[in-house]
Structure formats: structure tokens, C-alpha cells
Amino acid sequence: MSVIQAAKYLQIDGFLDQSRLPSTVSQECNIHLLEYVISRESRFVSTTTSTGEADYRNSKILYEFPEISAWMVHHISAILPTVFTQLDHPLFEVSQIEMQLTAHNDGNYYKMHNDNGSAAVVNRELSYVYYFYQEPKGFSGGELRLYDLDVATGWYESAETFVTIEPRNNSIVFFPSYYLHEVLPVACPSRRFAESRFTLNGWICR
Ligand SMILES: O=C(O)CCC(=O)C(=O)O
Ligand SMILES: [Fe+2]
């Protein structure tokens, strides 16, 4: 017998609405974010995984972005009540909102993993990914795939079924951190950094 739990997620389009931006930030939020990341290209480093496994994750990451993170935490906090309701997720007291900034360019990917599978990250409850990129779009692929879970054995194993989410510009996706998920390979023929698939993503921790 197999017991399949369908992956549930929430995607909100037009997340960073201009009317909600503080006056210190440029009118067009995406343009502001793009300018910000493009000017910091040299500070991006190659990603690693906690298991250290080679060929598991291939992308670039920026760890420090103080000008952006507090502002983003504010917007995520504001939407959290809606997220809990829509996902029908048990309420918990939020201790921290972790955040990273990634760039996926030609040939980059992140194979199947969950986000709270080791002791150091076990307090991650919900994962979020905010997508932004230059228009017209210079890449294809890079969909986020969430696997349904087979819970028959008491362990979560990936089912053969899944949902595939398009990483739409200025949208944010929320899902439980224990879900198995992956980033499908990106094709970016120009290989220009500015045309990467960018994310501000992280975890709502208890
Ligand atoms: O970029 C994405 O769509 C998801 C990234 C992800 O799964 C992670 O950073 O743990
Ligand atoms: Fe992840």
C-alpha cells in the first residue's frame, strides 16, 4: 500500500507591489533588485551543500545583502498570516527568517533535497523563494519541482508524482521545508550574469 501526500504550495504573483515600497527604494522594485545584484556580481560565490556531495547543486550565492534583507523580512512577515491560512499549516512562533540570494545561470540546477534534513536546520518550517529576473527573459528552465510524498513507511519518500512551478518574475512561493524538491536545469544561452534566474529565498524558522 502507498499513502501519497500531495504537495501543497502557495505562489503569490506581483509580490513586491510598488505601492508597498518604502520611498528609500526605487519605484520599480525589480529594477532596483536587478541593479543591486548586477553591481555585486563579483561578491557571488559558488554554492555548496551540507553533505558536500559533488554535482548536487550548481549555482552562485550572495550571503551578505543587508540593504535588502531587512526590507524583505518585513514584506514576508506581513504576508505570513495569509500563508499559514492558505497552506493550512499549523501555527508556530517564528524565531527567525533566514535568507540567501542566489543566481542560476546556464547549466545550473539543484537536485532533489529537503531543507530541514539535518540537526543544524531542523527548525526550518516553511521555505520561500522569491523570483526576479531581467525582462525580456534571457533564460529558460529553472522550474521548481515539488514532489508528492509517499508516507507509507513512516518516512517521507518521494512519490512518482510532483508539481512543477514556473519561477515567474516578482512571484514568491511558500511550501513546507520537509518537502522534497529540486530546481530543474537552467539554460541561459548568453551566459550573462544579468540574465540569470535570481532568487531571494530562505526559511521561516520556529
Ligand atoms: O531556487 C529555487 O527555486 C529553490 C532553491 C532551494 O531549493 C534552496 O535554496 O534550498
Ligand atoms: Fe531547497
pLDDT for 24 equals 53
CATH number for 102? 2.60.120.620
Taking the centre of ligand 2 as the mean of its atom positions, its distance from the CA of residue 174, in whole angstroms, is: 11
Task: Indicate the Cα dihedral angle 206, 98, 88, 133, nearest 10°.
Answer: 180
For residue 21, the model assigns a pLDDT of: 47
Q: Which pLDDT score is estimated for 159?
A: 83
Residues, Cβ < 5 Å to ion ligand 2: 115
201 Cα to the center of ligand 2, angstroms: 9
Please answer whether residues 37 and 131 qualify as being in contact, where contact means their C-beta atoms are separated by less than 8 angstroms. no
Ligand 1 centre distance from Cα of residue 92 (Å): 22
Whole-angstrom CA distances from 9 to 45, 163, 201 are 29, 9, 15
Pocket test for ligand 1, best of 46, 99, 113, 127 (most atoms within 8 A of CB): 127
pLDDT of residue 67: 79
Task: List, in order, residues 6 or more apart from 39 with CB less than 8 Å away.
Answer: none
Boundaries of domain holding 17: 4-205
> Residue 95: its pLDDT value, please?
97
Ligand 1 atom at minimum distance from 100 CA: 9
**66 CB-contact burial (10 Å; exposed 0-12 / middle 13-18 / buried 19+):** exposed
In this prediction, the residues of the chain whose per-residue pLDDT falls under 70 are 17-31, 50-52, 154
pLDDT for position 30:
66
Max CA distance (Å), the chain: 57
| CA proximity to 143, closest of 178, 160, 168 | 168
| Predicted complex: ipTM over 0.90 | yes
Q: How many domains does the chain have?
A: 1
Measured distance CA(166)–CA(11) in Å, rounded: 10
Index of the ligand 1 atom closest to the CA of residue 173: 3
Distance CA 80, CA 76 (A): 6
pLDDT at res. 52: 64
